Structure 1
Amino acid sequence: MADLNHELADFLRRARAARDPQTTGLPADGRVRRVAGLRREEVAMLAGVSTDYYTRLEQGRRIVPSPQVLDAIAGALDLDATGRTHLRNLVGAARTTRPRARAVQRVRPGLYQLLDTLDSQPALVLGRRTDVLAANRLARALFTDFDRMPPRERNYARWMLLSQEARDLFVDWEQQARNAVETLRFYTGNAPDDPEAQKLVGELSLASPEFRQWWSEHHVHQRTFGAKRLHHPVVGELTVDYESLTFPGDPEQTLFVYTTAPDSPSRQALNLLASWSQSPSPTH
């Protein structure tokens, strides 16, 4: 319970520090602000709770706020939809913090067939902890051949943070890598009992200074759609857009499909890559 409450307290403190006092509508009290963000009593006032209650919550005390109180605090901190979900996850997960083994994730045969039909679009499936569960031919050519990695290394966040290949591939590597860290942070907030996630966080903390910095900031991210700018070693510069699809029967698996704008240089580059990847023995 203590570890989970520490995560909740850390998230609240950082969200409070990021809140701009000038956008709250609170009257100025004339006191000099020595630290960034709101004071605890200001968050409590905006949320309609006592300062003592909010202070105990932010200190990680053993209290579980109601959904209504959580919504009020989320509003006071101006959290976005992902931040609100993360806050609820941290509170809800406090009841189940004992590490437990999880069944190995497997992709259904029908989903593999779907990936194969997306022959002209890169597509991959991510699971828990951003594990790469499957990728079609064009996704392997566009990013990297995850199938050639040892099973324990087939993880998107790990590849982004520890691979020079990823640093060279993404024009905006820092933003993409930060998003990967924040996505993993979001996952662990909902699964603090996942021992494999704890191992991954420990490994990345030791190996990557960027990971340590971004993890400590406690920002969260949930991928839904977006764009990636690449400098591919075979076809050069291109931009791909992506959409994510979560399956109703297995919300822990997400399909990512990458597209390019019609009649664009990026579409031409992707078509060229598709032709190149069909050669007998492509090397990446």
Structure 2
Amino acid sequence: MENTKTVLKNEIHIAGTVVSMRMEERGNCILVIRSNAERQIRNIQLRFYDINQAIIFRVGDHVRIAGHMQNRRTQDAEGNYHSTPTIVGDSIAVSKRRLTQILDESIPEQGGGAQADENWGVLAGIVTSIRTPTDKVTFLNIRIPSGRRDYNCRVTCLGRFQRAAANLKEGENVAVSCYVSVLDDTQRESRQSLVCTDLFSYGESDEAPKAPEEPTESLQPEEEANNDKNESFDPPAVPANPETGVDAFSEKTLQTANSNYEERHSENNPAHVETANAQMQYPFQRAQNNYYEETT
């Protein structure tokens, strides 16, 4: 089989309603989005390293998120390291109303009926391993080079895609469409997986298959500059302000985000600001509580 130019993609697209938000000491923001795409309601967890993008939204907002898959290194209480598949949010925006897709004339983009929920992704890279524990499922590991980093993603292939994946060979360049599946009894990232909805092989890649190293991706974008070997670590926690319970870095960032939040909502809907305190806590107050979620 002839070598072909390697096709590389790592995209995850989620649209749905924000149901919870959690701040972490390292400055990460965890969002849980409820999406009813793919004929099933799922609570999908995403991690934002740039909290300024995510913190201006609140529970109940209908949003659209573009992100990518990566493996995040974590350490347990016994000092053992684990690799956790994680969806990282790259951008987030309020969903536009449905009529903006139909009408040519200028109408307000927000308000009205939000566009349909989404839950889909596309991965394209090099097959590094194929595991078929039963005749009903095949686990496909795909390496997606990106600069000095490698994103190693695992896809679960079922039904006719199980047979197609089982017949692949290491070193082939494949493209896979997928959706995020979540077990009903948990919202933990480790319980999320990618399920194949289409698969295509371009043939043998012009790059070596290179076995995956677990874990491979760093926890923070700023760690990348000091991480030539693609190894990662959990940075030590920054001491928190005793009055607020928030570290200095997050406190400054959240204060800026609060200002952005008021500006955003005052421009889009002046009446919203007048009733905001009765409906929600500001992001900085949410960080003090560290976690809140929808109660309705």
The answer, yes or no, to whether TM exceeds 0.5 is: no
Task: Name the structure, 1 or 2, with higher relative contact order (CA <8 Å, separation 6+).
Answer: 2
User: Normalization by structure 2: what TM-score?
Assistant: 0.21
User: Normalization by structure 1: what TM-score?
Assistant: 0.22
Greater share of residues in helix: 1
